[in-house]
Structure 1
Amino acid sequence: MGRRLAALLGLLLVLSFAIFSLMYLAPGSPEQVLLGTRPASPELLASLRHQFHLDVPFLERYWLWLSDAVRFDLGSSARSGRAVTSMIGDRIGVTAFLAGYAFVVAVGAGVPLGVLAAVRRRTGVDRGVVGLTVVGVSAPAFVTGVVLLYLFAVTLGWFPSYGPGSGVADRFWHLTLPALALALTALALVTKITRTAMVGVLEQDYVGFALARGVPLRRVLVRHALRNALVPIMTAAGAVVTILLTGTILVESTFSLPGLGGLLVDAVNDKDVPLLQGVVLLLAIVIVLVNLAIDILYTRVDPRIAYGRSAA
């Protein structure tokens, strides 16, 4: 555990340095990047240099920024002047709800579909599920979103066409179409990996022995086959989080949702580097922590992994 946490801190440190360097990779001087299209007066330039520590060496600037970030102070927006943490706090609820909703849909539907395809291997059901995964992987989230929006919001009027809704039930209703559009690619990945893992497990001798002893098929699938196929499925779940967080940028723009995706797009369009750094740093931390949690869960699901690491 100690080595895992040390590796996590090292990775976060490297990511924070790369994210902080965004300002200095952009064309022009840091002052020009922060100013954007505003006229540059000597007083404004002096204020920017003092506010963003541009009058000290680069590594010292990074240390000051990192020290503030550890205390949840990500600075102020270069355009609005508001605190970056406050702007993120206003938007994070919609993105968290949307990503969580899409994750439940992707994993909750992908795992049963993968198991069904593995059990009905080389049948029409299997080919149909595999065809669904091909469509899901091939269709970008924004294209799926536009199709769902036109069919179920504009044509049929079953769902709202924009807005996050208010209250839990209303938010579920408003975010159903965005969650489906976001979850389709992830669902295809989970289904494909579940099917592959289950096919390998179902070919093992202990599964055949259990069935020969008269153990019900459902019990064999859940307690023996699926349990031993969980490690690759959990790996897919970690990849799903990354897919969902990156996909929210396009889906939120398609459905006019005030989430972190829209905030990130606004930061890029406005060249608001402090806001861009804050949002990207938050997304990177979430992805790293999710993968750490899955890495820890591996040892709970399959104790042989922990034993193998101890032996190594």
Structure 2
Amino acid sequence: MGARTVRRLLSKIGALLLTLFLSSVVIFSAVLLTPGDPVVALAGGVRPTPEMIDAIREQYQLDQPVWVQYLSWVGSVLTGDLGTSFVYKTEVIDLIAPRFGITFLLVIYTLVLIVVFGVGSGILAAVRRGRVEQAVLVGTSLGVAMPTFVVAIVLIWIFGRVLGWFPVYGPGEGLLDNLYHLTLPAVSLAVLYIAYISRITRGAVVAQLSSEHVETARVRGIPPSRIFRRHVFLNASPQLLSVAGTTIASLFAVAAIAEHAFGLGGIGVLLTEAAARKDLPVVQTLSLMLVALFVVLNAMVDVVIAIIDPDSARPRRDA
């Protein structure tokens, strides 16, 4: 790894840390500024008296200046203390842990579908011009135009109610049963991203197929399969990888749609319920976790790109 690549990686790490710091400030401030008083949740549904309000604010340090509350929260997070839920009265980590597993499995399942069908159809459209390409373009146009919740409703009606092929509620028990229950939720999440990744893949592959170094490789008599692996797909991979980090991170954020539609009870459902009930520790922790996932995944993608193609920022001259 050259000095240029090392400097690039150090720059990315610095940007990552700065982004996490700024995100923590924004998340903490935004949650405090949302309508509603967390004291209501802490009072347990009882109309609090002025004395009870003062006692609750003092107990949970809500009477402290905002900057003191922020430093206390960050210090606790850095030491692994995520706080106690205002609503459930249990440790936040104990609320998140059992729900994260099902959301993680849903995201992985969805990602597999995206890679197989998104990248596969994009490559197919790039190398099989004509009717195949037009069919893929029409299909991806429909996929981009269909919101996730609409896809979920259609899947529930057709494959759950009419055909009865798949369950439409709950995560199931055991890995195989989990995958069986998560099939329709994963498909509902994947449709939009398959269409998006397919178009990105097609554009990147078409650009490489018409590039000068690929033409040179053809003239030299290199087998088409080797040309595609070493000169087309490899050179197109940085563009695909740059989209991968954003895709994976966004799947965690939008998984709540499928979780609500299919009754999965993952972290997306927990986040929306906590936000509605002003459960500050849960909302702050999950929001920061999602931002951290987004930033870290994109940083990891940049590292991979820098390793496999240190000169990706410059045009390739080799054939």
1:105 aligned to 2:138? no
- The one-letter code sitting in structure 1 at the alignment partner of 2:85 is S
Residues 102, 180 of structure 1: 8 Å contact kept: yes
1:76·1:84 contact (CA, 8 Å) conserved in 2? yes
Distance apart, 1:52 and its partner CA: 2.6
Tell me the equivalent position of 1:125. 132
Q: Specify which of 198, 208, 229 is matched with residue 191 of structure 1.
A: 198
Question: Per-residue CA shift, 1:139-177, capped at 9, x if unaligned?
Answer: 111111111111111111111111111111111111011
RMSD: 2.0
CA distance in 2, matches of 1:53, 1:134: 52
Q: What's the counterpart of residue 247 of structure 2?
A: 240
Residues 1:272 and 2:279 aligned together: yes
Moved over 6 A (4+): none
User: What are the ranges of 5 or more consecutive residues in structure 2 without an aligned counterpart?
Assistant: 1-8
Partner of 1:19: 27
Structure 1, residues 215-234: CA drift from partner, whole Å, max 9, x if none? Answer: 33222212210000011111
Q: In the alignment, residue 100 of structure 2 is paired with which amino acid?
A: I
Aligned residue in 2 for 1:114: 122
Aligned residues: 307
Deviation readout 1:250-307 (Å, 9 max, x if unpaired): 1100000010111112112222222111111111111111011011111122121488
- Taking structure 1 as the reference length, the TM-score comes to 0.92
**What residue number does 1:292 align with?**
299
For the 8 Å contact 1:111–1:194, the answer to whether it is kept is yes
Q: 2:109, 2:209 → 1: CA distance?
A: 31
Q: Which runs of no fewer than 5 residues in structure 1 stay unpaired?
A: none
**Percent identical across equivalent pairs?**
37
Secondary structure in 1 aligned to 2:47? coil
Distance in 2, matches of 1:206 and 1:102, equals 35
Q: 1:202 aligns with which of 197, 209, 214?
A: 209
Contact 1:230–1:301, Cα closer than 8 Å, also in 2: no
CA-to-partner distance for each residue in 1:95-135, whole Å, 9 max, x for gaps? Answer: 000011101110222112111111123x1111111112111
SS at match of 2:311: helix
Q: Offset at 1:3?
A: 2.8
Matched, 1:228 2:228: no
- TM superposition score normalised by structure 2: 0.90
CA contact (8 A) 2:250 2:294 kept: no
- Give the Cα separation in 2 of the matches to 1:160 and 1:30: 37
Query: One-letter code of the match for 2:74?
Result: L
**Counterpart check, 1:60 vs 2:68:** yes
Distance 1:305 1:198, change over 3 A: closer
Cα distance in 1, alignment partners of residues 227 and 135 from structure 2: 24
Q: Distance in 1 between matches of 2:42 and 2:312?
A: 49
Which residue in 2 is equivalent to 1:176?
A: 183
